[in-house]
Amino acid sequence: MDHRIRRFARMGRREFLALSGAGMALGSLPRPAHAQAKRSGEIAAGLSERMLTLDPANHYSISATSVLRHIYDPLVDVTNDSKFIPALAESWRPVNNTTWRFTLRKGVTFHDGTPFNADSVVFTLKRVRDNTKLIKSFVYQDLDSVEKDGDYAVVVTSKRPFGSLPAHLTMLGMLPPSAGKGEEAFFAKPIGTGPFRFASWTHGDQIALTANPSYWKPGVPKVEKVTFRFIPELSTRTAALRAGELHVIDRVTPDLVETLKGTRGVKVLDVPAIEAQRWIFQLAKEPVKDQRLRQAISLAIDRNVIIKELLRGYGRPADNPVPPGLIGHASLPAKVYDPEKARQILKQAGLTNVSLDIVLMKDLYPKQLEVTQAVAAMLGEVGIKLNIKNLEIATAREQRTAGTYDLFFSGWAHMPHDPDWYFGQWFTKAGSEKLTRYANPRVEQLIVEGRVPDPKVRQAKYEELERIVWDEDAELWLYYTVAIYGVSDRLRNFEARRDYYVLLSDVSIV
């Protein structure tokens, strides 16, 4: 784990900007002819979150993204080190600050034999923009026009700069235009261009997929069938892996690593995740609207003890709202542990007998209750009482929307491998009106200015933005998480992903 964390942490600005700009003017890759792969075997995966839809535009679930990436292809794909690479788009480039042009891959067909072309892209993008009931619709509201430029190119124009568009497109599978003729029937038995075909789905329990023999990537997929089982209980996932019923499980907690490592036929893989564990404040509410209190809270928390004792080393202190490896990351001054200074700040501010409520979404994040209890003890030492409200997820989110909390335990995985969505969600007035109630006109301006396609401009604007919110203690950044997977040693070529995706197209089984 440690050497990989250090590798991402050492990533210099020049190196990172080179990565983040990848794909903006990519030359077309050679188009391979269809090849008949020698494939055999079946893989079963156990995922921590239940998948509730087969519509790639109607969720922000990591598990659903993992599964649906096998059925549908996006225009743009993303590697584990956050490089944007060709998928159904062979290349793309910004024409100007508000226009992107995508050149599409030829010779690709949907599972029913329908050709993939520009009509598919136009339909998919207009659908997600125009149907505001779709969960991902809000991301695409700035799209002004989506137009064909021949059968294998599309020009996308936005109302304002949309530099993160390629990143968001990694999470949007392309649909055939025929899907619009009867969406309910289509998504009951969906077709895409992906490496696997839909076979069956038991809602909330499991989904079975079979190999697409005419997939456009030669030699892919490697197996005949994959089954994803949705098992929220980690103990159940772990038992099934140890029994050989599953070949890979996600979201393993640090305290189970040694158990899995001691199991014959099982290995553990981990990688620094593109996820930060952070607590949000209700910034319109007394007393946490007072920056001095937020600063004192941060100073009273020993993050290194949490990482060492509770996470068993699987984490590192956050030095930026954005994890290493993503555009915008730059190391900021560490949030130090100084309880004496915290007491001084509280005394000078006249903040005495402070009592705060923190809301948790029950069992959502590994070790969250233990971490919160540890922090409560630390805050108690400087005179702050922390009342823990461990609520069912739906109830907790209702309280977050209503604003009836002081602190809220909330992680954030940067699934598009780009922080624009995070900034827009949490640090614009419109995005945060039912969350933190954050409002800072300068930060809002920097978010807008950081949406141009130029990665150097984006990096500079984000660095300025991050310094402001960091110095404000606008959130409580605790640590970056580590993604831990349990894997059968029968699997070959499985990659532990930083975004928690479980991708099996290139994986074989012996």
Residue in the structure block whose two tokens are 């040693």: 489
3-state secondary structure string, 306-334?
A: HHHHHCCCCEEECCCCCCCCCCCCCCCCC
pLDDT of 294 reads: 98
Answer whether residue 175 is part of any domain.
Answer: no
How far apart, in whole angstroms, are the C-alpha atoms of residue 422 and residue 125? 21
Residue in the structure block whose two tokens are 């944007």: 84
* Domain total of the chain: 1
pLDDT of 78 reads: 98
How far apart, in whole angstroms, are the C-alpha atoms of residue 124 and residue 122? 6
Question: In angstroms, what CA-CA distances link 168 with 101, 327, 405, 408, 496?
Answer: 15, 14, 31, 26, 21
Answer whether residue 66 is part of any domain.
Answer: no
Answer whether residue 333 is part of any domain.
Answer: yes
Q: Which residues touch 204 (CB under 8 Å, ≥6 apart)? A: 50, 51, 52, 230
What single-letter DSSP state applies at residue 115? B
Answer whether residue 74 is part of any domain.
Answer: no
Nearest to residue 193, comparing CAs of 77, 69, 41?
69
Return per-residue pLDDT of the chain as tens, 510 residues. 444 434 434 444 333 333 334 334 333 344 444 445 489 999 999 999 999 999 999 999 999 999 999 999 999 999 999 999 999 999 999 999 999 999 999 999 999 999 999 999 999 999 999 999 999 999 999 999 999 999 999 999 999 999 999 999 999 999 999 999 999 999 999 999 999 999 999 998 999 999 999 999 999 999 999 999 999 999 999 999 999 999 999 999 999 999 999 999 999 999 999 999 999 999 999 999 999 999 999 999 999 999 999 999 999 999 999 999 999 999 999 999 999 999 999 999 999 999 999 999 998 888 899 999 999 999 999 999 999 999 998 899 999 999 999 999 998 999 999 999 999 999 999 889 989 999 999 999 999 999 999 999 999 999 999 999 999 999 999 999 999 999 999 999 999 999 999 999 999 999
How far apart, in whole angstroms, are the C-alpha atoms of residue 1 and residue 43? 26
Instruction: Say what the pTM is.
Output: 0.89
The number of helices, as runs of H, and strands, as runs of E, in the chain is 17, 19
Answer whether residue 191 is part of any domain.
Answer: no
CATH number for 410:
3.10.105.10
Query: What sections of 114-164 are H helices per DSSP?
Result: 118-130
Q: For residue 317, give its domain range.
A: 274-481
pLDDT of 7 reads: 41
Query: What sections of 354-454 are H helices per DSSP?
Result: 368-380, 393-402, 420-426, 429-432, 441-449
Q: What would you report as the CA-atom Rg of the chain, rounded to the nearest whole angstrom?
A: 23
What single-letter DSSP state applies at residue 277? E
Nearest to residue 410, comparing CAs of 368, 470, 356?
368
Answer whether residue 499 is part of any domain.
Answer: no
| SS3 state at 28 | coil
CA-based torsion, 335, 336, 337, 338: positive or negative: negative
Phi first, then psi: what are they for 389, rounded to 5°? -115, 100
pLDDT of 14 reads: 37
How far apart, in whole angstroms, are the C-alpha atoms of residue 212 and residue 221? 7
Measured from the Cβ of residue 308, the count of other Cβ atoms closer than 10 Å reads: 12
Q: Which residues touch 489 (CB under 8 Å, ≥6 apart)? A: 265, 266, 267
